[in-house]
A and B are shown apart, each in its own frame.
Chain A
């Protein structure tokens, strides 16, 4: 069972570069989310989606874009990377509006 798969696992970007973090789930979950984890801050919600074609902002959305064209995929785009976006990014999915979230293994991003 693949569950939630994130790619890449590690990435180094230069300031101003753009990139897309990929997230795919094979559980047919309607709900998908992106979080960032910073030391001493826990995980904070960036964007989320309640189904294909529907997305919304979380707590820290600035500098990130998302789209949800299929149930399986929920990519996170950094438009112009900044050092403040150095973090570990986690994608999660949930099968129902009030059930547990399943997490990917994370993407460690460094912006220099």
Chain B
């Protein structure tokens, strides 16, 4: 079965420090992978996505992620965290459905809440 694991429920980093959020997936074929961010009381905003090609993906707000097939991982990174990055981050994989393809449906991890210390 398809699944996504985000091992860290809550992470606290100092402003200016580097960040890595972990994501592991379980999927039989080449996955479609996403990172979304959710600020409190808001909807989900796409940070970046991986469909194929270069395994290092650049996203918005200075985030990047690296797809590692051998480790079934898609970790999110940022070299220097800003206070405005405090939010909850969700990793997701495109779900393969009856009609073929993901139909835009996603299987989400349980999220990692990021706190930023001044």
> Which residues of A pack against B, CB within 8 Å?
29, 31-33, 35, 40-45, 48, 50, 54, 56, 58, 90, 92-106
Determine whether the beta carbon of B104 is less than 8 Å from that of A101: yes
> Which chain B residues in 55-110 approach chain A with CB under 8 Å?
90, 92, 94-95, 97-110
Contacts of B27 in A (CB 8 A): none
> Which residues of B pack against A, CB within 8 Å?
4, 9, 32, 34, 36, 42-46, 49, 51, 90, 92, 94-95, 97-111
Nearest CB in chain A to that of B51: its residue:
A98
B interface SS class: loop
Contacts of A102 in B (CB 8 A): 46
Contacts of B106 in A (CB 8 A): 43, 45, 92, 101
A interface SS class: strand
Determine whether the beta carbon of B99 is less than 8 Å from that of A97: yes
Determine whether the beta carbon of A94 is less than 8 Å from that of B104: yes
- Beyond known contacts A45-B107, A94-B103, A98-B32: 15 more, CB 8 A cutoff: A31-B104, A31-B105, A35-B108, A40-B110, A42-B90, A42-B109, A43-B92, A97-B100, A98-B102, A99-B104, A100-B34, A100-B104, A103-B44, A104-B43, A106-B42
Within the complex, the shortest CB–CB distance from B42 to chain A, in Å, comes to 7
A/B interface sample: 9 pairs, CB < 8 A: A40-B110, A43-B44, A45-B106, A54-B99, A56-B99, A98-B94, A99-B104, A103-B44, A106-B43
Within the complex, the shortest CB–CB distance from A28 to chain B, in Å, comes to 13
